């Protein structure tokens, strides 16, 4: 065999060996190349380098994307922490003394003491009822039987005038079906010997030392007003039986602002 024959044989064996390697490791059609495993990439030991477009882009440093299950879990944990923070903030706001004490003092001032020309302190009530006629007498009761009210609200207040004398004030709110009935009720109770609505001393069983009787209250200072469909009637008497009609009238007139309290 000549040197030329030996060279041809070596080249032939090399082509056969490397060609077989290519057909086993790399498919020759592009469609199969694109379907190659995602971990495929150029190899320093490969007989050929595939075109760059046939490889998946390199993954960002630090690893692949987070599994959906783990991502959802972290999201839920984050939302939970936000909810806890918001709830804690609301609780902290609610228990601050400025809020709790402020509401309590406002409610106390509204329900117990009302300042003005006279300072009134609630001592009984409010007592509510839907049947006004059963708590009335005389012509007033007859009127309320013929014109039923919608609601009756009654309270008792006390106030102290100059000189230290204490007076008891009955405040009665009567809600009628309309403004005309309310005004008619007011005009009726303004007259003499027309009856009225009972105060809480009579109906409420209120007892206290030196408390005026219901007869003294009904014969004391009187005032009334109408606001829409509501008639307010006030009656005042001193605890010691002292009679001062102008003073009692003045107290009852000022007490009209207690309507709806």
Query: Average pLDDT in the 213-225 region?
Result: 93
Of 55, 49, 66, the closest CA to residue 33 belongs to: 55
**pLDDT, tens only, 136-169:** 999 999 999 999 999 999 999 999 998 889 999 9
Of 215, 214, 231, the closest CA to residue 223 belongs to: 231
d(CA 76, CA 68) in angstroms, rounded, equals 12
When pLDDT is cut at 50, 70 and 90, the band that residue 83 belongs to is: low
pLDDT at 174 over 50: yes
Task: Name the pTM for this structure.
Answer: 0.57
Q: For 15-81, give the DSSP string.
A: HHHHHHHHHHHS-SSHHHHHTS-TT----TT-SS---GGGSPPPPPTT-SPPPHHHHHHHHHHHHHH
The secondary structure element, H or E, covering residue 173 is strand 166-175
Average pLDDT, the chain: 72
Residue-level pLDDT at 25: 38
**pLDDT, tens only, 10-36:** 445 544 444 444 444 334 443 333 333
Residue-level pLDDT at 210: 77
Could you give the percent of the chain with pLDDT greater than 90?
Answer: 44
Residue-level pLDDT at 211: 84
d(CA 181, CA 179) in angstroms, rounded, equals 6
Please, which residues bridge with residue 152 across strands? 129, 174
pLDDT at 48 over 50: no
Torsion angle, alpha carbons of 173, 178, 181, 185, to 10: 10
Residue 70 burial (CB count, 10 A): 9
pLDDT at 241 over 60: yes
d(CA 137, CA 133) in angstroms, rounded, equals 8
Q: Comparing 100 with 136, which gets the higher pLDDT?
A: 136
3-class DSSP assignment, residue 155: strand
Residue 206's contacts (CB-CB under 8 Å, 6 or more residues apart) are 123, 124, 156, 200
Residue-level pLDDT at 44: 40
Tokens 């109906």 locate to: 203
Q: Comparing 213 with 71, which gets the higher pLDDT?
A: 213
């Amino acid at each position: 065999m000549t040197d030329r024959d030996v060279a041809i044989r070596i080249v032939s064996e090399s082509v056969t060996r490397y060609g077989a390697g290519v057909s086993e490791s790399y498919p020759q059609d592009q469609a199969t190349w694109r379907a190659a495993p995602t971990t495929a990439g150029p190899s320093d030991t490969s007989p050929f380098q595939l075109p760059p477009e046939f490889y998946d882009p390199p993954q960002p440093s630090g690893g692949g994307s987070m599994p959906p299950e783990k991502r959802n879990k972290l999201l839920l944990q984050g939302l939970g922490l936000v909810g806890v923070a918001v709830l804690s903030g609301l609780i902290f706001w609610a228990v601050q003394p400025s809020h709790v004490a402020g509401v309590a003092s406002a409610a106390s001032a509204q329900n117990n003491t009302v300042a003005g020309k006279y300072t009134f302190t609630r001592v009984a009530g409010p007592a509510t009822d839907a049947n006004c006629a059963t708590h009335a007498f005389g012509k007033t009761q007859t009127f309320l039987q013929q014109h039923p009210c919608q609601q009756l609200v009654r309270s008792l207040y006390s106030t102290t005038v100059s000189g230290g004398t204490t007076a008891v004030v009955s405040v009665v709110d009567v809600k009628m079906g309309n403004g005309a009935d309310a005004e008619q009720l007011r005009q009726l109770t303004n007259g003499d010997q027309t009856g009225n609505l009972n105060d809480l001393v009579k109906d409420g069983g209120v007892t206290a030392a030196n408390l005026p009787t219901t007869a003294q209250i009904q014969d004391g200072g009187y005032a009334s007003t109408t606001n829409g469909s509501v008639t307010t009637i006030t009656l005042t008497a001193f605890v010691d039986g002292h009679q001062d009609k102008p003073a009692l009238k003045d107290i009852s007139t000022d007490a009209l602002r207690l309507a709806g309290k």
